[in-house]
Amino acid sequence: MNAHDGNQVDVAATLRALKDEVRRHRHELRGEGAIAADEWRGPTDLDAVQNAVRVNPHLPIAWPEWPPGIMPKIIALLQKVTRRLLRWYINPIIEQQNEFNAATAQALSDLVVEMRAGDARIEQRLRELESREAAQREVLAQRLWRLEQRTEPQPVSQRSAADAADDVGSDSPQPVTRTTPHVPRTTLDYYHFELRHRGSPEDIAARQALYLDYFRECRRVLDIGCGRGEFIALLREHDIDARGVDIDPDMVAHCQAEGLPVVQDDAIAHLATLPDESLDGAFMAQVVEHLAPAGLVELLRLCRQKLTPNGVLVAETINPTCVYAFVQYYLLDPSHAQPLHPGTLHFMLEDAGFWQTEVEYLSPVPAGARLSPLTANGLEAAQVSALNRNIERLNEFLFGYQDYAVIARRPPDELPEDDA
């Protein structure tokens, strides 16, 4: 369409230029030469589109001077008269065209704005990924250094009697440097162990999401033995101030690389440093089975002391009454100290001063791993029914719930009369 100055603007060409620019920019973002969002301004032809939005129906005829000659003057006069006579027909079409041009220009402008916003989001995401990659490299470097320290041959300047005898009569005895065998490892690489056997962080987060409801009203929660910090991340996504403590340096390094507030410390020692009633939530997933009875009693006592009245404690562990879970998971981990029957942990929490204690059973064994019921196959119905009842009882014993959690609260300062 014509602009006021009579220049032509090819909208289709402008759209093609926009598409080419988007493709080029996306290609550069995937490569090494990414452009910062604030450096890209879009195709300059968009300015020409904006200037040509309004179509001028009053094209200059014989202006500013009449053309020379009689016939050109007559033609110009006829053009002016014809345009005036057709104005009733042309003007509505021009208005429709102007509306279309304005809508197209606005769409192009919105597209450029959205592209810039998308570029900014992509750039931010790239920076986040680069930062996370750098942090993970640091974590791996630390782990590699620790592994090397555990297995590095150590030089010693130790001379045997045979070495000394070889030097007799020598003007310059040569020192003999020996190396000791590899230093034996004395601790389990628990970070690597969990990577192989515990499950992916996404799987763990999905399983632990069911605990969120217990902590929605909390202001500060401590994840004790937080591992890779899946539950801390979940809580913080829901605007709950969650922190963690773990004794394993690799777990702590992993959490810190993810930007999670986690410290390396023994759980009991860390709790002892916190002010009383400074927490309104505590969480322990697969932790209590790692503690001897005396340590667990002390841990529960400190949890009650550090929780506010009505503060909640959730403790999850493997269910040893499920033979499948006991054999497949409890016995798998050599750092486990003792299996805890649900009734035992329930009693220990009540004995530590908690109330409203309840047990929730979790993670049923998949149906495919359970014993299948019998069909008739020529047997009498009563026999089949009796056998299937026994199979179901055996399923409950062998293939019940793999985990359980005990949920308990510190009592309020003043108990209700019914509970006093």
C-alpha pair distances (Å), 261 with each of 20, 248, 251, 258? 45, 15, 12, 9
Lowest average pLDDT, out of 289-298, 304-313, 326-335, 336-345, goes to 326-335
For 314-329, write each residue's pLDDT tens digit. Answer: 999 999 999 999 998 8
Spell out the alpha helix ranges (H) of 238-380.
249-257, 267-273, 293-306, 323-325, 342-351
CA dihedral (410, 413, 418, 419) positive or negative: positive
pLDDT of residue 87 exceeding 80: no
pLDDT of residue 116: 83
Q: CA-to-CA distance for 188 and 309, rounded, in angstroms?
A: 38
* pLDDT averaged over every residue in the chain: 79
pLDDT of residue 34 exceeding 80: no
- In this prediction, residues 404-408 reach a mean pLDDT of 96
Q: CA-to-CA distance for 339 and 175, rounded, in angstroms?
A: 55
For 217-268, write each residue's pLDDT tens digit. Answer: 999 999 999 999 999 999 999 999 999 999 988 889 889 988 999 999 999 9
- Structural domains of the chain ordered from first start: 11-133 (no CATH), 190-365+400-409 (3.40.50.150)
CB of 300 closer than 8 Å to CB of 348: yes
Q: Which pLDDT band, with edges at 50, 70 and 90, does 353 fall under?
A: very high
pLDDT of residue 14 exceeding 70: no
C-alpha pair distances (Å), 134 with each of 126, 137, 139, 249, 250? 12, 5, 9, 18, 16
The pTM score is 0.57
pLDDT of residue 17: 66
- Could you list the beta-strand ranges (E) of 177-268: 178-179, 220-224, 241-246, 262-264
Residue whose pair of structure tokens reads 């329930």 in the numeric block: 346
Side-chain-side CA neighbours of residue 32 (13 Å): 0
pLDDT of residue 420: 53
CB of 401 closer than 8 Å to CB of 363: yes
pLDDT of residue 182: 43
Q: CA-to-CA distance for 280 and 297, rounded, in angstroms?
A: 20
Q: Which residue has the higher pLDDT, 36 or 238?
A: 238
